[in-house]
Amino acid sequence: MKIERKYNCIIVEDEPIASDIIESFVKQDKELNLVGKSSDVVQASSLLNIHKVDLIFLDLHLPVIKGFDFLRKIKTTPFVIVTTAYHEYAVEGYELDIVDYLMKPIPYSRFLTAIGRFKHFAEAKDALLEVADRNFIYINIGKKKIKIYLDDIFYIESFREYVNIHTKAEIFIVKMPISRIEETLDKKHFARIHKSYIISISKIEMISASEIQIDGKKLPIGRTYKPLIL
């Protein structure tokens, strides 16, 4: 029997009509539990402190602090579905591992697609990265559960919603944001060097001001990560 999941979510939206529409959509899904609504990031921060939130419906054009600036300030970011009337922020949204990007006015069918993507990632976070022991992880690929020893990992590469786990034996391709796999790895042994790369520290062959070489592959060091690496 399938266990019914409950995902806590909040709506951060300063347009009352848009907020009410999203709320009505949320209430039609028994697995979504709306724990709060806010019209600015101050209220949203309070909700995040009070509740364990799995999903944020986030408008970008908020008073005082904008949506993406808010996300950058959060230490542990829940999954995020962006809601906006503007097209130009889509690329930036993908860089921040946004689950989906909904354009207003939001059709219910499009909302359902976004929720389907969220549930895929949420289930992957629980089932795909079960850390049975600190020296290996399990990943789910299709219907198979694959065991990967951490010592075998050279580096992890992100491409949109997928990650490629480069190991001694082969490359494993998994559908999940790189930020989610980063959360499970011991920072003593793995380091994020770029928005698209996590590396095994023990596998470093060469390091310079702009790149790191692992397994013969030269990987770029992102400007944001240089102070943490060099």
pLDDT tens per residue, range 6-20: 899 999 999 999 999
Do both 69 and 149 map to the same domain? no
Low-confidence ranges of the chain (pLDDT < 50): 1-3, 90-91, 128, 132-133
Q: What is the pTM of this model?
A: 0.59
**What is the pLDDT at residue 87?**
67
**What is the pLDDT at residue 20?**
96
Q: What is the CATH number of the domain that holds 74?
A: 3.40.50.2300
Residue 172: domain span:
129-229
Count structural domains, the chain: 2
**No. of helices (H) and no. of strands (E), the chain:** 7, 16
**What is the pLDDT at residue 219?**
95
Do both 115 and 16 map to the same domain? yes
* Residue 142 in domain: yes
Distances (CA, A) of 122 to 125, 147, 230: 5, 20, 34
Do both 78 and 11 map to the same domain? yes
**What is the pLDDT at residue 62?**
83
**What is the pLDDT at residue 26?**
97
Residue 124: strand, helix, or coil: helix
* Residue 1 in domain: no
Question: Is the dihedral angle over the CA atoms 33, 38, 44, 49 positive or is it negative?
Answer: negative
**What is the pLDDT at residue 1?**
38
* Residue 75 in domain: yes
User: Which residue, of 65, 100, 126, is where some domain finishes?
Assistant: 126
Letter string b/e over residues 121-140, b meaning 16 or more CB atoms within 10 A of that residue's CB: bbebbeebbeeeeeeebebb
Neighbour tally for 219: CB within 10 Å: 20
